[in-house]
Structure formats: structure tokens, C-alpha cells
A and B are shown apart, each in its own frame.
Chain A
Amino acid sequence: MDKKMIVSSSPHVRSIESVQSVMTDVLIALFPVALMAVLLFGYQALITMVISVVTAMLVEALWLRKKDIFNDGSAAVTGLLFAMVLPPSPPWWLVVVGAAASIIIGKQVFGGIGYNIFNPALVGRAIVLVSWGGYLAGNVWSPPQPFAFGADVSAVTGATALAGQGEALSYSLTQLFIGTVPGCLGETSALALLVGGAWLYYKGHIDWRIPLGYLGTVFVMGVIFGGGFYDNHLMTGLFHVLAGGVMLGALFMATDMVTTPVTPVGRLIFGIGCGLITMLIRIWGALPEGVTYAILLMNAVTPIIDNFTVPKQFGGVKKNA
């Protein structure tokens, strides 16, 4: 009876969820996407993903001087997401440099997990994109070779569906949905991304506001400003949702917890903002695709969004913050 008890602030019980379990759930959600990438792009996709994940984990472990290279799992998530925004078979050194940059410049220089302002994987992509654009833009995209694991997909290359109207019309919406189109490893299959996104939603790790705000805005702008080249205006809207990196961005990048708003209204604004910027770039900008920059720009204004969207408390009166 004389033993002193632990005295601490309530609550005294906690959910079993941890940062590691959340990150593990994200990895599980990315599994169908990664599987699809291997099915479509073969062994080269697998090698790219392995190099990226291992580099990210090693660099983070070295930076933090930790022996447990999996640690909280966040570096593995960053590494895998970085691989998802690469072509199927980029040079190995580009994957290493990009994954290392994601961890160091995207995350650790800000103070590590929780403190980074920009989505680390997209920081890595932006860096390799401006440094070695020749590997990531233009006619570098390999058409998928489904179920041909050993094939060298890089033998043939071309443009993505977003390069122009001619390229767009050469793919059906069904192909865009299943993913049998050229593009980054993780972006081509809307189907696989939706399965992964559904898992994250079921586990309570993502909110509907960001993905629906993002996809909804892209769809509406595609309908109105897309030019209706794809059968009709509605189909053109759908084309913009399914083509390129919007699905991957909306479900996995714009939902990154650390770099997006915490307020419910803020999340909706964030999603809509991503959609607007993506479509501005796609339709009026010089680049064929704008997901990376759209999300990075919105990351930058996240603190401002949070400040202006403090929710009304229970029983509170609405007033401007």
C-alpha cells in the first residue's frame, strides 16, 4: 500500500493508435497502388520503389542517428510516395537523390516529422523536375505492358494523355480508370488509388473534404473550361479527373496530415484551392500537368487558412476571427 502511484493528467486511457500505426495504414493503402504499378510496368517499377523507400528510410535514420530504420514509418511513406510520382524506370541515381532530398530538404531541415511545411515527396519531385527535367517531362513516358513482369518498358516511350488533345483522345476513360496508360508509377490507375483511399477513409485517417473538394473542382473546371474535346463537356470533366496525377494528388498527397489544414472548413478550402491551381496550370499554363505545384502552393498557405477558419465552438456565436 505504500507504493506511490503514477500521477498524471486525465485522460488515463488512450486509444491504441500511434504515429507508427497511422503510417502503417498509409503504407497498406498504398499497397494496391504499388501492386498495380508492378503489374503495369514490371520489374523496373519494383526496383524504382525499392530504391526510393530504402533511400528515404536510410537517410532519415542517418539524420536522426537512430538504429531503427522503420522508426515511425513516415520515411517509408515518403519514399514510397516519391516513387509513385516518378516514371517507371528513371536512372537509379535520380531516385536516390530525389528520395534523399525529400527527407532532408522536404522534412528534416524544418525539424522533422510534424514540422515540415511542404509535402516531402512533392518537394523531392519538384527538385528533380527542375534539375533533370529531361527524365520527367516530354516524351519519356513508357506505355504499360500489363502482366509482363520481365519486360523492359523503357524501350518504348511517348507522351502522357495530358500532352495534348490528340494524346488525350487516344485513351478511353476506361483505360484511364484502370490505369493502362503512360504516366507516373502511382498515378495511372484511378481504381487502385480509390481502393487505397477508401481504406484510409475507413480507418479515419483522411477526411472527405480534401479529396472531394479537389476532385470536384477539377471536374467542374474541366466541364466548363476543358473545351469539350473529349466527346462532350461532362466527359471532358471526367477526363481531367482521371488523367494525370489528380487522383494520386487528391487521395494521397493533398491529404498528407502534416502539411494540410486542421480545421474542417480549411480542409475544404485546401482541396478546392488545389483543384483550381491544378486546372489553371493544365488549361492556361505552360506545363501539361500542375498537381505538384498546386499542392505545394496550397501547403504554403495552410497556416493562413487555419487562422481564418477557426470553427465556431459548441453554442458559440459566429464572428469573424
Chain B
Amino acid sequence: MGSTVFKGGIHPDYHKELTATMAVTAMKAPEKVVIPLQQHIGAPCEPLESIEVGTEVKIGQKIAQSSGFVSAPIHASVSGKITAIGPYNHPLGRPVEAITIESDGEEKWDDSIKPAGNPDNLTAEKIREIVREAGIVGLGGATFPAHVKLSPPPEKKIDIVVINGAECEPYLTADHRVMLENPEEIVFGLKMMIKALGAEKGVIGVEDNKPDALKVLEQEVAGEDNITVASLHTKYPQGAEKMLIQVTTGRIVPAGGLPLDVGVVNHNVGTAVAITNAVREGKPLVERVLTVTGSGINRPQNLMVRVGTLVSDVLEHCGGLKEETVKLIIGGPMMGLAQPSPDIPVIKGTSGILALTGEDVYLAESSPCIRCAKCVDHCPVQLLPTSIALASEHEMFKKAEKLHAMDCFECGCCAFVCPSKIPLVQWIRIAKAEIAKANKK
């Protein structure tokens, strides 16, 4: 083990008590789902040839896919009739092609959904295929297709699989509940990943502000000789890939590199459960656990929600938004995306729906940088956020690149601590986009 604490980071108010003790309940399937064809990083999906307006579909039926390798197919999440195919609002901002299904209320699963056979007899190749066909993506929010991470190039030997149960974003408790309620599925999913990768061992990392989850998982892995549970210091962004790998394995992912460069693959706890469901029952990813919370929500809770459910329907299920709500966020408060309206679907990567009232959102104007260097001291990747932001503001993007702007993963620690309330992440994002554009030419 290397250092047990990563450099930098912050201790925000977590507000997890709003939902931490509330068991996951399944939200009734909505009357209508809107399923975007882009829910993952990579090539967008195209509707299957048999899919058009008027087609009857069942739960779990594949409705769209892509020929690209870095992609994940998409499945119907309710049974019913397709009523529209066209652009629809999307949590990432721009409207995206989506398939709208009106539920017939019968909740019939597709006939193709069946177990692949005894999991012990599955080959690595078969596990990868099951994961790909199930449309599983990283459920922590990054939505990278899970099967791609299970198919490293042959020259990269993977020996450790790290499972991310840190859930370092304030407010969110979905992963916490999954760890408490599905520990067996997490460990089984981890075993499948270890098998698919030919890895030697697995580590499940959990922040120590969730002692109950640590206890449950430790009991679950008690009989396993190659799986351990690591109790992690509670500090944001502990769940960030590079920080998590550093504290669980002692390995440093090189700048600009990937975890597989140091023999590690990591997945979220929810992804592990999804893989288990796919292997054991043949179930594709059609629903997920998310936390609906924040000072603007009347009844905060953890919900199992069908992919494609409109956020407005989820909010209604939770008693609606309070009048004082000023911000609606998909994801957590540190890295989530603010939404103009709840008329957007829940997608595979939606880990939380957060509504904040004015008291919790700092809306002050920014003032000039006083060079206090708090952003420097709290940056987990040791950048100079204030200098990059200044370069970006003056359109000196070459300089921003020299200052390693591309290594920023936008965790938001810098902007969080800034006493001048400068939107540092926004400036750095602009620099990153410009640098990427310039390098493409």
C-alpha cells in the first residue's frame, strides 16, 4: 500500500443524512419513457431496423445499437408502443435522438431475457459479450461502456480490479444503499470482472463515513482470499479514478494515462450489480438506483427508476419541488450538471437528482483573484487553477496547456474553496475545449 491519503481535496458539507438511512424503493414504471440513443461515452446508437413509430416492444428488448466498439446498446425499459423517434432534451445539454415508448402497463419482459447458464462455466469472452449486450455503462456517472474496460489491449496486463464505493459527492447516497442492500451482487460482479480480465485480486474502496457499508462488505468478502475491502479517508474527490487507485493500490496513474497503464481497472459498485444481473438473469440495464435529494425536494429518497423516466415524473413521485428551489442538478453538487427544466429523461449515468434552494447555492459575484493559492493547495492533481483560469480568460490557451490544463478532471475543489468565488472550473473547461480543438487540427 502506498499513501493512504491523496494530496489536496476538500471537506464539503455532505448532507447525506437526508437519505442515507432510506432503503431503495422501486418507482412504479411511468406511463411514458424517453430513451436517448446517446447515454454513454462513445458512438451514439441507431434504432434497430425493426424499430419504428408504432412498434410494440417489451422490457429488455434491444431497440438501438451502434457498430462502434466503444458504445453500448440500448433496451426498452417498459413494455408498450413506440410513439416517437426524434430529438429530445438531454441532461448533457443538447437535444439528442430519443425513442419514446408509451407503456401498456403490462410490464412484460422480452423472451430473450434468460440466464446464460452456470456462471462458473462462463469464459472471459462470454462474460464480456454478456456485459456488452446488456448495455452496461459506468453507473458512477462517467457512463463509459463497461465491456470496453473489460477488454484491455493484450499488451496491458491487468492484475487488480478496484470497485468504487467511495461515493464522495455530497448529498448522494445511491451507492451507499446499493452497498448495504446488494453486497452479495457487488462481490459476485467483481468476481466476474476479475475472471473477464484474468486479474488476480479485487479491492472494494469505501469512504469511512459509511461504516455500515464497510461492515456489510467486510462480512461478505470474509471467505474470499483475493478480495479485500479498503476503508478510505473521507475526503472529496476520493471517488475520482486516480485518487481511488492511488489509495487502494498505491499506484499512480500517469498523467494523460489510463488505469490500465498501471494494471488496474475500476468500476462503480452499481456497475458491479448490473453485471451480476446480466450474468445471472440475462437482464440488460433498464433501471438504476438514484438519489433524489436536496433542500428543494419535498420527500428526498433513494429510488430504483427505469431508464428514460422523465425527471419531472420522478420529482412528482417525490412530492414535487419546493417553491424556493433555484437549481436543479443531475448528479452531485460538485460535478453535476445544472438543468433549466425537469423535462429531461433519467439516463444510465444519472446517479442523482438534486434540487437546491437559494440558501445552499452560493450566488455571489466573483471578485478579483487575491492569489491566496487555496485552489493550488486543494487541487488533487496539483495544478495551478488560478493561473490556468487567468490564461484562459486572456485566451492564452498555449500557456494553459503548458500549465497542464488537460489534466484537470473538473472536480471543482478549486472553485469550492475560492474566497473570490471565481468560476475556475468554467474557465479551465473553456481552455480544455480550445486546447482539444487546436490539437485536432
Binding site for B on A (CB under 8 A): 1, 3-19, 21-22, 72, 74, 111-115, 204-205, 207, 257-264, 267, 306, 310-317, 321
A12 near B356 with CB under 8 A, answer yes
Given A5-B338, A263-B376, A313-B383, do A18 and B370 touch, yes or no (CB 8 Å)? no
Asked if B16 lies at the interface with its beta carbon under 8 angstroms from chain A, I say no
B370 near A257 with CB under 8 A, answer yes
Chain A residue with minimal CB distance to B257?
A: A315
A316 near B404 with CB under 8 A, answer yes
B377 to chain A, nearest CB (A): 7
Besides A15-B419, A257-B372, 19 new A-B residue pairs in contact (Cβ under 8 A), listed by A number = A1-B342, A5-B339, A6-B363, A8-B327, A8-B426, A9-B429, A11-B333, A11-B416, A13-B334, A15-B416, A19-B367, A19-B420, A111-B368, A115-B368, A258-B370, A314-B380, A315-B256, A316-B407, A317-B254
Interface hits, B290-347 → A, CB 8 Å: 312, 315, 320-321, 325-329, 333-342
Contact digits for B100-111, partner A, Cβ 8 Å, 1 yes 0 no? 000000000000
A72 near B255 with CB under 8 A, answer no
A-B contact pairs, 5 of them (CB 8 A): A8-B338, A10-B337, A258-B371, A311-B383, A313-B407
Docked Cα-Cα span, A188 to B336, in Å, equals 52
Residues of B near A1 (CB, < 8 A) are 312, 315, 320-321, 342
The number of inter-chain residue pairs (CB within 8 angstroms) is: 178
Residues of A near B43 (CB, < 8 A) are none
Chain A residue with minimal CB distance to B386?
A: A262
Residues of A near B336 (CB, < 8 A) are 10, 12
B380 near A14 with CB under 8 A, answer no
Chain B residue with minimal CB distance to A267?
A: B373
Asked if B58 lies at the interface with its beta carbon under 8 angstroms from chain A, I say no
Residues of A near B404 (CB, < 8 A) are 310, 313, 316
Chain B residue with minimal CB distance to A115?
A: B368
A9 near B368 with CB under 8 A, answer no
Chain A residue with minimal CB distance to B339?
A: A5
Choose from B253, B360, B363, B367 the contact partner of A315 (Cβ within 8 Å): B253
Chain A residue with minimal CB distance to B170?
A: A13
Residues of B near A312 (CB, < 8 A) are 382
B329 near A315 with CB under 8 A, answer no
B12 near A13 with CB under 8 A, answer yes
B242 near A22 with CB under 8 A, answer no
A30 to chain B, nearest CB (A): 17
Give the interface centre of A1, A7, A16, A315 by most chain B CB atoms within 10 Å. A315
A313 near B361 with CB under 8 A, answer no
A112 near B384 with CB under 8 A, answer no
Given A7-B338, A313-B383, do A113 and B368 touch, yes or no (CB 8 Å)? yes
B373 near A207 with CB under 8 A, answer yes
Chain A residue with minimal CB distance to B296?
A: A5
Residues of A near B362 (CB, < 8 A) are 13-14, 16
User: Nearest 7 A-B pairs (CB), nearest first?
Assistant: A11-B412, A114-B368, A14-B362, A9-B426, A314-B381, A316-B255, A262-B373
Residues of A near B373 (CB, < 8 A) are 207, 257, 261-263, 267
Residues of A near B170 (CB, < 8 A) are 13
Given A5-B340, A6-B361, A9-B429, do A18 and B421 touch, yes or no (CB 8 Å)? yes
Given A72-B367, A257-B373, A316-B407, do A10 and B335 touch, yes or no (CB 8 Å)? yes
Residues of A near B341 (CB, < 8 A) are 4-5
Docked Cα-Cα span, A5 to B325, in Å, equals 8
Given A260-B371, A313-B404, A316-B407, do A14 and B252 touch, yes or no (CB 8 Å)? no
Given A6-B338, A13-B170, do A262 and B384 touch, yes or no (CB 8 Å)? yes
Asked if B417 lies at the interface with its beta carbon under 8 angstroms from chain A, I say yes
Residues of B near A313 (CB, < 8 A) are 255, 381-383, 404, 407
Docked Cα-Cα span, A18 to B384, in Å, equals 20
B386 to chain A, nearest CB (A): 6
Docked Cα-Cα span, A115 to B10, in Å, equals 27
Contact digits for B122-159, partner A, Cβ 8 Å, 1 yes 0 no? 00000000000000000000000000000000000000
A11 to chain B, nearest CB (A): 3
Docked Cα-Cα span, A12 to B354, in Å, equals 10
Asked if B415 lies at the interface with its beta carbon under 8 angstroms from chain A, I say yes
A314 near B419 with CB under 8 A, answer no
Docked Cα-Cα span, A11 to B13, in Å, equals 13
Docked Cα-Cα span, A270 to B387, in Å, equals 18
